[in-house]
Structure 1
Amino acid sequence: MTVPDDTGMETLYPFLYSGGARAGALLAEAGRSAREKAAEIAELRGSLAERHGAALLRCARRLAEAFEAGGRLLTFGNGGSSTDAQAVARLFVCPPAPARPLPAISLPHDVATLTALSNDVGFEVVFARRLAALGRRGDIALGLSTSGGSRNLLRAFDEAAGHGMVTVGFAGYDGGAMAEAGTVEHLFVVPSSSVHRIQEAQTTLYQVLWELTRRALDGDL
């Protein structure tokens, strides 16, 4: 059937007004695409345990040591990865009960400082300058990127390594420049060229890292 155009929306969503056959074909295509994407991310996530399982355990134990010694978690990323950086920080600060909260700060979400540094100095230093001001030896610098090549993340990891911070990175593709820099101690690469699949899989990785860190702090690892 054809949807009546009593809202003025036909110009925005013409497929809704193209008749039953066309709408049915579009819905079938959307369903097929959704099933393919769900299968793709399920397969990718399933491969991460074998690829990164041992490294996640090592990283979790190192993070637990850092937190026990008074360290804090400082997270950063650009665009969608900045949202993930906030999600990581929130997970550590405000975990599900009865897990203990841990100190964490999401650097991209201080908008005043980020825009001041971008305007007055340059976007490449927005995270490095924050780490220089806030970071201490034994803190944790955790950066997320899909490409692995974001210059402001590379500058941030340089700064963090120079401060003696624990460095943790999440990247896609083949790890990009983050894999070559030598400043990321714990690097988790999602082997995909799809930004969507990379970010979905990174969500799984940092959720598992938090859970393992919590268990390490409880003495269960």
Structure 2
Amino acid sequence: MKTRGAAGFDRAAAVRRARAQLRESCRVKQRISAKLLAELAEFARLTLEAFGRGRRVYFFGNGGSAADAQHLAAELQGRLRLNRAALPALALTTNTSALTAIANDTRFSDIFARQVEGLVERGDIVVGLTTSGASANVLAGLRAARRAGARTVAFTGARTERIRRAADIVLAVPSRDTQRIQEAHITLGHIYCDLIERHLFSRR
């Protein structure tokens, strides 16, 4: 596909737009409340408790949130800063055979719930990421996790009416802009991984 290319591209205007978006990203993060951070700390505590009992943490989401789910699972399986043992974290967004089979044979809204039914056990932690707070497959996955006896956590934005009925902990970024919400989600996710790693493996 051909486009107009770089004809008429204004670098100075691009720099101004980039700076404005960086400022807005910073403003969203600065509006994160002490209550949200307390919920994040509780999420970390529950995860540590689950790991201590031999349980796992699972992540899922759609699109950019699927990428974030995989990112956070990878930080726990691999490493954030410290050389240490792997932790039992999985993203339910990576098995394309399962995802497409479930979507084709049942419904797309079941792609996470069906995997949860087969994998999740009582005491596990299940994390759904949805910037809208209304993704049908994320809500269904969290509800399935509750039925399995797991603790449920949601990363979302300012719209929380539906997601609060499905999650024990709701990490609601104070924004309705998808990009700003996702940027804050990965920041909060990195903090969560740091809290886990430091508690379990730091000698300090």
TM-score by length of 2: 0.92
- Of residues 118, 122, 125, the one that matches 2:103 is 118
What CA distance in whole angstroms lies between the structure 2 residues aligned with 1:160 and 1:185?
Answer: 11
Partner amino acid, structure 2, of 1:152: N
Q: Which runs of 5+ in 2 are unaligned?
A: none
Q: Which runs of 5+ in 1 are unaligned?
A: 1-8
The answer to whether the Cα contact below 8 Å between 1:136 and 1:163 also exists between their aligned partners in 2 is yes
> Equivalent residue for 1:52?
36
What CA distance in whole angstroms lies between the structure 1 residues aligned with 2:193 and 2:118?
Answer: 25
RMSD: 1.9
The answer to whether the Cα contact below 8 Å between 2:32 and 2:174 also exists between their aligned partners in 1 is no
Partner amino acid, structure 2, of 1:13: R
State the structure with more CA Rg.
1
> Equivalent residue for 2:185?
202
> Equivalent residue for 1:173?
158
Deviation at 1:186, TM superposition (A): 1.3
1:104 aligns with 2:95: no
> Equivalent residue for 2:171?
188
- Of residues 133, 138, 141, the one that matches 1:148 is 133
Deviation at 1:99, TM superposition (A): 3.8
Aligned residue for 2:32, secondary structure, equals helix
Higher RCO (CA 8 Å, separation ≥ 6 residues): 2
